[in-house]
Amino acid sequence: MSQERITKHECAHVAALARLRLTDDELDRFSTQLGELLDHVAEVESLDIDDLPATQHPFGISNLLRADEPAQTLDRDQVLAQAPHIENGQFRVPPVLGEAS
């Protein structure tokens, strides 16, 4: 059953969505482990709770709003000092549109 829950191919697709590269070993292991876990959580499938509302927050509170007043910004140099690669006050990255495998 586990093997059917999530195939290696699906696992690879999910990894791509999450921007992770998994080795073949990892793909094998993860698809098995995720399958087992999904088998376990499948117990909730049998619960007849379609009519219940979904809980997004444990308590039904709403609306925390903030006044539209500017506050201190972060110091740019301090922020950029933490960055892997900077240029002219900006964050430098490799070309954005390359092939993502």
- Pick out residues in 44-83 that bind another protein (CB under 8 A): 44-45, 47, 49-50, 52-59, 61-76, 78-80, 82-83
1 forms part of the interface with another protein (CB under 8 A): no
Q: What is the dihedral of CA 8, 13, 16, 17, to 10 degrees?
A: -130
**Residue 5 Cβ, how far from another protein at the closest point, in Å?**
10
18 forms part of the interface with another protein (CB under 8 A): yes
Q: Which is nearer to another protein, 1 or 55 (CB)?
A: 55
**Residue 1 Cβ, how far from another protein at the closest point, in Å?**
14
| Rounded Cα–Cα distance for residues 18 and 32 (Å) | 18
40 forms part of the interface with another protein (CB under 8 A): yes
- Pick out residues in 80-99 that bind another protein (CB under 8 A): 80, 82-85, 87-99
Q: How far is CA 87 from CA 66, 74, 98, in A?
A: 34, 18, 21
Q: Which of 5, 59, 66 is nearest to 32 (CA)?
A: 5
| Rounded Cα–Cα distance for residues 14 and 8 (Å) | 10
